[in-house]
Chains A and B, each alone.
Chain A
Amino acid sequence: MADKVLVKGNEALGEAAIKAGCRFFFGYPITPQTELSEYLAKRFPKVGGTFLQAESEVAAINMVLGAASAGARVMTSSSSPGISLKSEGISYIAGSDLPAVIVNIQRGGPGLGGIQPSQADYFQATKGGGHGDYRLIVLAPNSVQEIVSLTFDAFDLADLYRMPVMILGDGMLGQMMEPVEFPEHSDRVLPEKTWATDTTQGKRKKNIVNSLYIKPDVLEKIVLDRYARYAEVEAKEARAETYLTDDADIIITAYGATSRISRNAVDALRASGIKAGLLRPITLWPFPKAEYQRLAKTAKAFLTVEMSMGQMIEDVKLSIDCSRPVHFCGRTGGMIPTPGEIEAKAREIAASL
């Protein structure tokens, strides 16, 4: 077992990427993810990696596309406005069936917004952002240790399904210091990258990495094939964690940093006799619908907690087909909901049951 060390979320992510075999990083500075870039700028040269500060997020994500095409494990990171710029490239990466890891340490928006923690990029992460029919696997850690394990998973899932994976964090997680251990990364059995444009060396036919299909029937077929892969991801990779949900009347549901606050609220509610539980999605896409459906059979109401005006709440409602009331408690703009606010909302719901 590896020793525990005290590290910040952003740095843990960088170190985990190195342990996962990532040696290429292309990025552009933006608060609050800069520490991740700076950490890699320091560490990568020591492990034979390439850290390159690009001229923009647009360039960075296209460098990622090139490196991924050449068969490398590659990562980029940014925060909300930068992810908007990367969205073009993310669509091309998805459309070219390339594996890549994209980190979004979210901040308040829209526009330049603010630099405080936010979860207002949920729609952008899970519903597109870029153009066209495509999906990203979206992973939402809620502790520094989980940042490490999900970073490992991100690279494996990307390679396994040949698709981009986003790690969706927020400024709070990035800044948070916790003791973590870095286990040695052991890959799943991953397919060989026979499709990579890593030069033919005269030994095979040429490979083409491309997202252009001029004939509509051909493009449709390509997209359908890709969606068959997405269906497999939905069937196999959806993940969630539950806490005190078995007998719960009210299911509080939150991901990332707000799930930690919500857990405190659950404890306080339980102490005062209200049967609350927590359902925390770990994968935001695929959304762990089955867990919601299972709990909708026993619970009386759901309460979604987000640092946004309410985005994940739509997936909660869809997952349970609106079979139970779904309430919302959120703050936005970089404001963080307090356990007291969540408790108060839950008490209000409990009184109405």
Chain B
Amino acid sequence: MKTVFEHPKALSDVLMHYCPGCTHGIAHRLVAEVLDELGVCGNTVGVAPVGCAVFAYNYFECDMIEAAHGRAPAVATGVKRVLPNSVVFTYQGDGDLAAIGTAETVHAATRGENITVIFINNTNYGMTGGQMAPTTLPGQVTTTTPYGRDVKANGHPIRVCEMLATLSGTAYAERVALNNVKNVMAAKRAIKKAFEYQIAGKGFSIVELLSTCPTNWGLAPTDAMKWLEENMLPYYPLGVYKDIGGDK
């Protein structure tokens, strides 16, 4: 019999704690499939964030570290400097990466730190119950912007890929979305490319995955997908923002 679908070896065979319909599960699976396809799981160290993915250390079969909120890129830097031939990735939410950890993210990128960042943009702080994130859209209601995000008072959302693309150390930055099969396939290609760039020693790579948080958005999973398409895609256009390509 031919196996057409199986559980990725890099993904632990445990029950995940994510809410039903949450795209964190898809993102995990894509990363695990890529680690398997590249055959690098045994040579990989992952760094989990503080956020809904805090337990990611239980979900990947490689060595894992749980970092403090926002510090994953610094922790990954420490690991990579000690083990330059290993594969090191962080998995971070938008609050972790673009608020409390902005300095760590920007400087890991500008150093060209040879790591891969998997960035989940779900426009809010999922774990703490749906507060405003640096990526919350103008007008978007969250528990700390109950009248909608007023950019005069709360500032503007950060477009992370665009920002990091300006830095010379960034080798690859792409924004993808997890809202339909086509985009999920594209997301996997981007993740694979990001890891390949790291393995080739090209520098900092980041894949931003537009994700849903049905629980805190107060939407059914399918409506959340629609919300992502209608609201996030216009503000956060998909695409490759940086690709140094070639054989640097």
Contact indicator B71/A59 (Cβ below 8 Å): yes
What is the CA–CA distance of A65 and B80 in the complex, to the nearest angstrom? Answer: 12
Q: Choose among A60, A70, A89, A206 the residue that contacts B62 (Cβ–Cβ < 8 A).
A: A206
C-alpha gap A24/B54 in the complex (Å): 27
Chain A residues, Cβ within 8 Å of B80: 66
Main secondary structure of the interface of B (DSSP, over half): helix
Q: Size band of the B side of the interface?
A: 20 to 34
Q: Does A114 contact B (CB under 8 A)?
A: no
B interface residues (Cβ-Cβ under 8 A, vs A): 41-45, 47, 54, 57-58, 60-68, 71, 74-83, 86, 103-104, 106-107
Interface size on A, residues (CB 8 A): 40
Interface string of A2-30 (1 = CB under 8 A from B): 00000000000000000000001010000
When chains A and B are docked, how far (Å) is the Cα of A86 from the Cα of B23?
34
Residue numbers in B under 8 Å from A68 (CB-CB)? 78
Interface residues of A in 201-246 (CB under 8 A from B): 201-203, 206-212
Q: Which residues of B contact A206 (CB under 8 A)?
A: 60-64
Cβ of A163 within 8 Å of any chain B Cβ, yes or no, is no
Given contacts A55-B104, A201-B42, contact A63 B81 (CB under 8 A): yes
- Determine whether the beta carbon of B74 is less than 8 Å from that of A63: yes
Known: A54-B74, A66-B75, A67-B79. A208 touches B67 (CB 8 A): no
A interface vs B, CB < 8 Å? 24, 26, 50, 52, 54-56, 58-60, 62-72, 74, 88-89, 92, 96, 197-203, 206-212
Query: What would 12 more interface pairs be, CB under 8 Å, given A58-B74, A62-B68, A199-B86?
Result: A58-B104, A62-B67, A63-B74, A66-B47, A67-B81, A70-B82, A89-B68, A197-B79, A198-B63, A208-B57, A208-B63, A211-B66
Task: Return the chain A residue nearest B17 by Cβ.
Answer: A214
- Asked if residues B71 and A89 are in contact (CB atoms below 8 Å), the reply is yes
Q: Which residues of B contact A197 (CB under 8 A)?
A: 45, 63-65, 79
A70 touches B78 (CB 8 A): yes
- 22 A-B pairs in the complex with CB atoms less than 8 angstroms apart: A52-B77, A52-B81, A58-B74, A58-B104, A62-B71, A62-B104, A65-B67, A66-B65, A66-B77, A66-B79, A67-B78, A69-B45, A70-B83, A197-B45, A198-B86, A199-B44, A200-B42, A200-B62, A202-B41, A206-B61, A209-B65, A210-B65
